[in-house]
Amino acid sequence: MGAPRSRSPRLEVPSYMQCSTRRMGIMTDVHRRFLQLLMTHGVLEEQAVKRLQKHCYKVHDRNAAVEKLEDFINNINSVLESLYIEVKKGVTEDDGRPVYALVNLATTSISKMASDFAENELDLFRKALELIIDSESGFASSTNILNLVDQLKGKKMRKKEAEQVLQKFVQNKWLIEKEGEFTLHSRAILEMEQYIRETYPDSVKMCNICHSLLIQGQSCETCGIRMHLPCVAKYFQSNSEPRCPHCNDYWPHEIPEIFNPEKEREAGISTSNKKSLRSRQH
């Protein structure tokens, strides 16, 4: 792993610590500011994270070279590891954008949200979560969730209140709403994946390609395997006859486009460029 940075003038590591087999990261105000701002946002897309990193360098350490994001985050995580917290990278299920969030690695139950929400609110979330996991599309309709309002633990909640609570979940980035239906926000997936896999081992769906939790995705109509939309896009990239990786039947769905950060940047410059790129892709 290499010697710990004990020779850096800014940190004195006594000799007995050098016997650690784990590399110790070094935390500076650059990293602390980064973490504070990342926490404030809850979850951030990769481009915003890079800008955030540059901003933190600018504030605290103008002359230092901005470390590669991956190394920067690994450094932070090596320090936070002992707190069972990490900056985790995920991918949005609908359009494959890389996102980052500060997550708690402990798979304690949903009750870790307990201090933020009332008992009946937590139970509403739990019910919504179950409906989402059981659904075929990964979405649970507002009506179906609200119909369970009578079964909630704790203080009786009316449907009107429940609507507000669901909005609170959306605002706090636990749920996403699309046309009256709810699914899990990428932040919730990042934070709760392990909890969900352990609590609902029978109903949970997994992606055949990346082997992580799947809420939204496409499925093979013959053998039933599922894939995330971005995983489908990557797997079938420039393949004119997409076939199921498991049973080899024709893949019945439209292949989505891969999220390409380069394309996003060019789109900002001129819309005509974007059109020509798209026609080139397929």
Partner 1 sequence: MPRGHKSKLRAREKRRQARGETQCLRGAQATAAKEEGSPSSSSLVLETTPQSLPAAGSDERATKQDEESPGTSQASSTTDRSRKTPLDQKAILLVQFLLRKYNMKETITKEDMLKYVIKKHKDHFHEILRRASELMVLAFGIDVKEVDTTRHCYVLISKLQRTRDERMSGEIMPKTGLLMTVLCVIFMKGNCAAEEDIWEVLNVMGIYAGRKHFMYGEPRKLITKDLVQEKYLEYRQVPNSDPPRYEFLWGPRARAETSKMKVLEFLAKIHDTTPNAFPSWYEEALRDEEERARARFAALARTNAIASARIRVSSSYFHP
**What are φ and ψ of residue 181, in 5° steps?**
-120, 150
Q: Which position among 1, 2, 3, 40 is part of the footprint of partner 1 (CB under 8 A)? A: 40
Contact between 74 and partner 1 by CB under 8 A: the answer reads no
Instruction: List, as one string, the DSSP characters of 164-195.
Output: HHHHHHHHTTSEEEETTEEEE-HHHHHHHHHH
Contact between 85 and partner 1 by CB under 8 A: the answer reads yes
CA 64 to chain centre: 30
Calculate ∠ Cα 88-90-94, nearest 5°: 155
Q: Which of residues 96-155 bind partner 1 (CB under 8 A)?
A: 102, 104-108, 112-116, 143
Contact between 159 and partner 1 by CB under 8 A: the answer reads yes
Q: Which position among 68, 137, 150, 171 is part of the footprint of partner 1 (CB under 8 A)? A: 171
Least Å distance, CB 243 to partner 1, is 32
Candidates 25-33, 118-126, 207-215, 249-257 — which segment interacts with partner 1 by CB under 8 A?
25-33
Rounded distance, CA 92 to CA 88, Å? 13
- Decide if 195 contacts 107 (C-beta within 8 A): yes
Least Å distance, CB 158 to partner 1, is 9
The encoded tokens of residue 15 equal 């000799």
Q: Which of 45, 42, 8, 47 has the alpha carbon at shortest distance from 27?
A: 8
The encoded tokens of residue 72 equal 């920067």
Least Å distance, CB 43 to partner 1, is 11
3-state secondary structure of 282: coil
Q: Which of residues 220-259 bind partner 1 (CB under 8 A)?
A: none
Q: Which position among 1, 12, 254, 282 is part of the footprint of partner 1 (CB under 8 A)? A: 12
- Site residues (CB under 8 A) for partner 1? 8, 10-14, 16-17, 19-22, 24-29, 32-33, 35-37, 39-42, 47-48, 51-52, 54-55, 58-61, 79-85, 102, 104-108, 112-116, 143, 159-160, 163, 167, 170-171, 177, 194, 267-268
